[in-house]
Amino acid sequence: MDTRQFKTLIVILVVLALAVVNPLYRNSKKMDIITLGLDLKGGADILLRAAPPEGQKVTQDQMTGAIEVVRRRIDPNGVRELLLQQVGPDRITLQVPGVKDKAEKPEDLTVEKIVKLLGSTALLEFIDVGAASIPDGTDTTKSTYPVVIKGDDLAKADVQFNIGRPVVAFQLKKDAADKFGTFTSEHVNQYMAIVLDKKVISCPVIRNAIWGGSGEIEGNFTIDDASMLSRELNAGRLPVPLEILETRVVGPTLGKESIKYSIRAGLWGFLLVLAFMLLIYKLPGFVADIALALYIVFVLGYLSLFNATLTLPGIAGFILSIGMAVDTNVIIFERLKEEIAWGKTLHAAMESAFARAFVAVFDSHMTTIVGGAVLYFYGTGPVKGFAVTLLLGVAISLFSAVTVTRFILSTFATYYKNIRLYV
Residue 319 contacts other proteins per CB under 8 A: yes
Q: Checking DSSP bridges between strand 35-36 and strand 309-310, what pairing results, if any?
A: parallel
251 binds other proteins (CB under 8 A): yes
CB of 80 to other proteins, least distance (A): 18
Are the C-beta atoms of residues 155 and 211 closer than 8 Å to each other? no
Closer of 349 and 409 to other proteins (Cβ)? 349
Q: Is 110 in the site for other proteins (CB under 8 A)?
A: yes
Of 2-10, 68-76, 213-221, 323-331, the window that binds other proteins (rule: CB under 8 A) is 323-331
Residue 273 within binding range of other proteins, rule CB under 8 A: yes
Candidate residues 11, 33, 51, 209; the one interacting with other proteins per rule CB under 8 A: 51
CB of 266 to other proteins, least distance (A): 8
Distance of alpha carbon 43 from alpha carbon 386, whole angstroms = 19
Residue 245 sits in the site that holds other proteins (CB under 8 A): yes
Residues in region 22-41 near other proteins by CB under 8 A: 39
How many CB atoms sit inside 10 A of residue 239's CB? 20
**DSSP string for 295-337:** HHHHHHHHHHHTTPEE-HHHHHHHHHHHHHHHHHHHHHHHHHH
Angle of helix 223-235 versus helix 111-119 axis, rounded to 10: 50
From residue 199, give the alpha-carbon distance in Å to each of 102, 115, 194: 28, 19, 8
Least Å distance, CB 368 to other proteins, is 4
Query: For the CA atoms of 60, 65, 66, 68, what is the dihedral angle to 10 degrees?
Result: 130
The residue (of 85 and 364) whose beta carbon lies closer to other proteins is 364
Taking CB under 8 A as the criterion, the residue among 56, 306, 334, 414 binding other proteins is 334
Residue 312 lies near other proteins (rule: CB under 8 A): yes
Bridge partners (DSSP) of residue 165 are 162
Judged by beta carbon, residue 19 or residue 118, the one nearer other proteins is: 118
Contact mark string toward other proteins, 113..132, x via CB under 8 A: x-xx-xxxx-----------
CA distance 224 to 78: 20
Q: Considering only 18-26, 66-74, 174-182, 245-253, which stretch makes contact with other proteins by CB under 8 A?
A: 245-253
> How many angstroms separate the CA atoms of 364 and 31, rounded?
38
Looking at 155, 337, 395, 416, which residue binds other proteins (CB under 8 A)?
337
- In the shown chain, the binding pattern of residues 357 to 386 toward other proteins, with x for contact by CB under 8 A and - for none, equals ---x--xxxxxxxxxx-xx-xxxx-xx--x
Identify which of 420, 413, 321, 400 has the alpha carbon closest to the alpha carbon of residue 8: 400
